[in-house]
Structure 1
Amino acid sequence: MQLHIKHSTTELANRISKALITSSNHQKSIPPLKWTPLLEQTLHGLAFRNSLSPQLVSRVIDPFLINHHSLALGFFNWAAQQPGFTHTSISYQSILKSLSVSRQFNTVDKLMKEIKMQKIVLSASAYRSVIASHLSGQKALSAFSVFSDVRWMICEIGVDICNALLAGLSSYGHLGNARQVFDEMLLRGVRVTTLGFGVFIWRFCGNSELGDVLMFIDDVKRQVSQRVNGSVVALLVVHGLCFAGRVDEAVSVLDVLRKKDCKPDFMAYRAVAEALRETGNVAEVEKVLKMKRKLGVSPRGSDYRDFIFQLISERLVCEARDIGEVIVSGNFPIEDDVLNALIGSVSAEDPSSALRFFKYLVEKDRLPTLLTFTNLSRNLCRHGKHAELVEVSKTLSGKAYFVDIERYNIMVSFFCKAGKVKEAYEVLQEMKKKGWGPDIVSYNSVMEACCRENMVRPAKRLWDEMFANGCEADLRTYNILISKFVEIGQVKEANGLFCHMLEKRVEPNATTYVFLLKGLCQENEVVTGLEVFKKSFEQDAEMARTLLGKFILYLCKKGHFIAASSLVRDYNSTIGNSESNMILLKCLADAGEVPLAIEHIKMIGKMSPPMMHELRTGFLSSLSSPSKPQPILEIIQVIETLQLNHAPSE
């Protein structure tokens, strides 16, 4: 019986979610998968009120709406408004999971306050999900706030999340909060890891007594279950002290750390020696280097590899960068995948450091992966480092990196995004010489860049060159040029391209028609515009339906009211609807063309009497903020009169 109930709940949940998704995708003028009050009618139509329960709400949201947070939250709120319904922990957990996945932090915070006020206790997995979401969104204090309310559940929340929270708070300088998490972990026996304790002790060294630092290390070492890498901790301690200018303490702590089973490796000794070198203390530098040769151990690449990947996965990019720079500056072993990860992640925040990692990689006669090259190029563009982008590509070109059309196209694409059109065109010529295209992707990138930079003549020459090289234009090519020609008023050329694409059997899309119809109306080419619209209708009636409203607006903006009215009338029986008629009538009312509006309304009354009610409702709602209320009142009066005339006699 229980299995049957569960099966029925799942089936009903599936039906509800499908109905919401389908209805939301068919809402006009509203983005798909977005909740609106109209969806309440969909829910009422399913007639499942007697089956509504927190379990059903939970099942609808998770798994069916888990990635559609707007629908999930709308359904959750709708359920709360139903008579006799109250959310419980199970429904709260599902909505929090959906909102956490989509990082809707403000809504999550609001719901967490509700849960706290109602004294509802969630599962550890729910708190874990919320804390992880806040940390991924770099909201460490919000994550700590959630943790503080349920710190008694710390063992269930788990080792990974607690250490991630400890590291995140420490990274952002919230050391007081981090200390609370650390103390709670020790008290409850939650194992600390190299990630959590390492970042905490690293940042704690900056302005804390050395005795406290060593005390914390002792506390961790006493943990039976601890898995902290002593050599990594030693490096982080001396690095933190040196960064804070406490170089003498860094020298003295080396031997202390070794005795505490945190044996400094060559990297730790070198970090201290370099800090001393900057102070000009040559004698102390030699002393530390002798200690390194006598007592130091060779760093284990796998230890730092794992640590760096953990830092990157927790979005602690600055810490990953600093460790990477210690390794690279000392020419210590580092694997290619670690360098690639550092280049890609660090370039998002610190492109200069990323370029140093890139140069180190290339100097070792190794090359970045295609993903790394793409990420580095994208971030250099984003930070405006355009000259550096060109330099990176030149360096790689000299290393025979570009061995296929895919790699060349990535280089061309980012040159174009950076506005380096000349350099992008030179790459096209290089591609031809080496027999790697160019293909239509290459040409489109450069064509678009030319148009963006108002280089129309070079774009036209590129068009000719493309066909001369046997490369046929695609839809994107035509749209790039048609939109640019319309923008600069060369509508005749735009229409010529439209005819050309039809001859070449390249099917236009809505974007093509929107650009061209707008341009033709701007140049008062109404007849041609009507012919183009007719082609869109013949090609795809549903697409023409979406274009109709825009075409009406373009015509009315240039004063072609009669043509707009005729357009709506001609297509009223096929793709016309209340929305297109409403657009026309509002344009006529705003322009004071009331007689023409009345004539159009009478035509609708004869052709589509049921539409009169929708138009009346639309105009009544528009009365709240009309610039010219009198024409609208006249139109409403005419509609009401026609409705009375068409009403059945009793």
Structure 2
Amino acid sequence: MEPARELTKTLLNNTKNPKLAWQIFKRIASNPQFPSDSFNKSLPVVTRILIGAKMFTEINNLQQLILQSHTSDHTLLLLMRVLAQLGHVNLAVSQLQAFRSHHPDKPISISLYNLLIRFSIRDNHPDCVRVLYEDMVVCRVPFETYTFNLLIGGLCDSGCLEDARKVFDKMRERGCVPNEFSFGILVRGYCRAGRAGEGLELLEVMRSMGVGSNIVVYNTLVSAFCKEGKTNEAEKVVEMLREDGLVPNVVTFNSRISGLCGSGKVLEASRIFRDMQVDNELGLPQPDMITYNLMLDGFCKEGMMEEAKTLIETMKETGVGLKVESYNIWLSGLVRNGMLLEAQGVLNEMAEKGVQPTIVSYNILMNGLCKNGMLRDAKTVMSLMKNGGVTPDVVSYSILLHGYCKKGMISEANKHLNIMIANGCFPNNYTCNSLLESLWKEGKVLEAEELLKKMKERGYALNMVTYNIVIDGLCKLGQVDKAVETMHDLWDQEDTDGNDNNSCKPDLITYSTIINTLCKDGKLDEAKKKFIEMIGRNVYPDSVIYDIFVSNLCKKGKVSSAFRVLKEMEKKGYNKSLQTYNSLILGLGMKSQFFEMYGLMNEMRERGIAPNVSTYNNMIRCLCESGGQTDDATKLLDEMLDKGVSPNISTFKLLIRPLCQIGEFRPAQEVFNISLSIFGHKETLYSFMFNELVAGDELLEAKDVFMSALDRCFFGIANFSYQDFINRLCKAEMLECATEVVKKMVKKRYAFEPASFMPVIDGLRMTGNNRNADEFAELMLEMGSEVKVSNQVTKVYKRRKVVNNDESNWRNVLHRDDGSGATLKILNKIQKGWGYERILLNMQSPKYV
């Protein structure tokens, strides 16, 4: 057996005993008779063993061994290569520096520098790149164009375009001529940074220098200009491409189509696509599968589903065929546009056409179903997946688990988590974080803490997302002190570890959550302390943090303090946002500083910030509540409608109530009618208007609204103050109206509180209408027998909800002793066994005694 193979085999046999492996290698390799090629072949093996055992001192000794026994530059290069490939490029560079300190005059080949620069860029070690570059300059190592290309590419990938351009400009100083790759790398860097114009200037420099043409550079610029929406510039680049003797290929056209679709210009992209299909005489390339998929994705993302469907049919007819990638794009588009039944049909079609759905196909459909609350269908898709021989992955299980969490079905989510683990698919951080967040939302603190404990036990690398969920949950449960303690524990751990790259450092979200909670609790001084602590920890505030202070100060009437925060905010370079303006307008309005409030709205418009519905609602609320200026508030509603700002239901409620309170019922009715024209006949609008009219004693108008609501057959009338309304009608001697209302409620089969009959029955008795009073009394008993059979509320009529679950009113009716003849008559009939034994038995139960 040759020496290299024998030594390598011996080293591998002693991998678990690295010290022995090192001693063996050192003894054999130190022999001057040991061949250099054998040394080089066994060097990677021993290096891996030493790195695996973290024997870094021996690594230094290995370098000395190389220099003493095998002075070949190739051997040294090999050691550096192995170290860099194993992810220890910083160690390789330090080895190079150590070698330099002992052998300053010994030349090192450019290939070693190129290798180390490449791996330093790959592993994101910019400091190593800087050290290598400076060492090359000091040692006067002759640069290669390839070296510069590596440096330019690394700087571009790091976003240091200015530095990349400086390196590019220095190439000639170092005796290197930029080639087409040099230009291409820098052009791509400009394009990725959204600076395609500078990339075009560089292309013109490239052409003027006579550097060989490269169609990739042109295609990169075409795509970039299309993404920026600069189609004219993209066309100019295509013309330049033709001028240089190049022919636009399918990649060129795909770049244009991709860029146009990405910027939402799908119709323009479709025109180019159509030209590719029909203009053969122009020599345009035919669309390939990528072209079709780009157009399909563009149509789907813009909701142009008819066009997408036509394209699908074209693909089937032209023989292009639908691959699984095309089906997945089509599935994703259908799901995104809510066409879930069609999406399920596509999955079936794939099976019929012999196209095997991938895990991505199933996950797309499951995700759409879960987002729409169709969990049962999502489970069915998972069953189909398993039956089709596709094993659900962590994404599949996470989608379903997140769906359960979203609907608050925590127990089901837990069961699903156990099934997931039992099937050998262990949850990731996203899965656990979804469940953890839901547990906190449901207030299940013990379960949340238990899950967190299990995550730690199972070795999950808890990230800041996890801890932010915990801190947010504690804040929402009113345990802000515990949230602060948790944050401080994280800082203590950071300080102990001394690791600046720790992913569990409290961040801006952490501080925003705690500061917001402290402000809401009125603990402004503590919030300020946390703000100062945040800056001291090098977590710098953004406009959101300042908005939190401004908003809470304004809500507490401390407008002057809010403006001081605002001044500090603008001093730090943050401009007022829409949220800032809304908070300040509310604060000024609460102080009745209406002139300043309107001034802020004008300032918003001047700065190009359009007022939204919250802006107008804040102004309307303040004008009505603080100043009683309902006319001005109504004008703001007109302004909203004129400017295309859609009001919400709260907008109309803010106007209707103050108008009714000052007796302006006709304008209130007009506002109500406008709300119906915008939102349709919503129960919440009818109930609100009715209740305000009743409170204002506008009984006839209230009757019209209520009767109209009954005709609309809303699901329930629990939000209508109908009992108070009927009482008021009877007291106002409007007995006929009250009777009509009650009859309509019965006719429309609404289940309501039977006690509502009593004012009408009493009124009928007092006017001598005993027959009608008896009829109402019997109807009241009938409803009572149906409604009060058990502790649970039952439905009296189909599709109608019982108004009230409270039995106290019904008991009060049966135990009334106010001299009412109707009441005595009802009690007498019950005692005679009037066919309502269930009521009598129920009233004798212990809870009534």
Band of TM-score, shorter chain:
0.3 to 0.5
Q: Taking structure 2 as the reference length, what is the TM-score of the superposition? A: 0.35
Q: Taking structure 1 as the reference length, what is the TM-score of the superposition? A: 0.44
User: If you compute each CA radius of gyration, which structure gives the higher value, 1 or 2?
Assistant: 2
Ranked by relative contact order (alpha carbons within 8 Å, sequence separation 6 or more), the top structure is 1
